[in-house]
């Protein structure tokens, strides 16, 4: 997880690209680059008028990509070790999506 204060769009794009490079993806039967991790990219824009007593205007943009939650179908043509990894991965993704749902419901 990375937090940074940036003052221009080029710096923001650098962090976006860094995040994209660090994403975990993996092939599934339905998607060759399925998200295997959650990702949130947030930009907060603050508009202040120099020398003014007006409150600054604040805007937020959040881009959220949730890990893919595929049906529990493991290909038969992979090793037992790979099957166990996939089962563990799917269980973790579904657990985190359920937890996210509980958080949203609570809010």
Other CB atoms within 10 Å distance of the CB of residue 67? 22
Domain range summary for the chain, segments of one domain joined by +: 9-106
Q: How far apart are CA 99 and CA 104, in angstroms?
A: 9
pTM of the entire predicted model: 0.54
Mean local confidence (pLDDT), 39-63: 86
Residue 1: pLDDT band (50, 70, 90) is: low
Please choose, from the candidates 91, 84, 99, the residue with its C-alpha nearest in 3D space to the C-alpha of residue 70.
91
Q: Give the start-end residues of each E strand in the chain.
A: 25-26, 34-35, 39-47, 57-65
Residues 74/80/84/85 CA torsion (nearest 10 deg): -90
Average pLDDT of the residues in 7-16: 85
For residue 5, how many other CB atoms are within 10 A of its CB? 6
CB 69 within 8 A of CB 56: no
Residue 47: per-residue pLDDT: 87
């Amino acid at each position: 997880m990375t937090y940074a204060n940036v003052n221009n769009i080029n710096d923001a794009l650098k962090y976006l690209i860094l995040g994209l490079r660090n994403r975990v993806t993996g092939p599934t039967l339905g998607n060759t680059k399925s998200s295997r991790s959650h990702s949130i990219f947030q930009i907060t824009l603050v508009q202040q008028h120099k020398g003014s007593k007006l409150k600054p205007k604040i805007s937020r943009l959040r881009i959220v990509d949730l890990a893919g939650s595929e049906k529990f179908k493991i290909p038969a043509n992979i090793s037992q070790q790979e099957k166990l990894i996939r089962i563990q991965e799917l269980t973790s993704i579904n657990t985190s999506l359920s937890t996210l749902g509980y958080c949203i419901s609570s809010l």
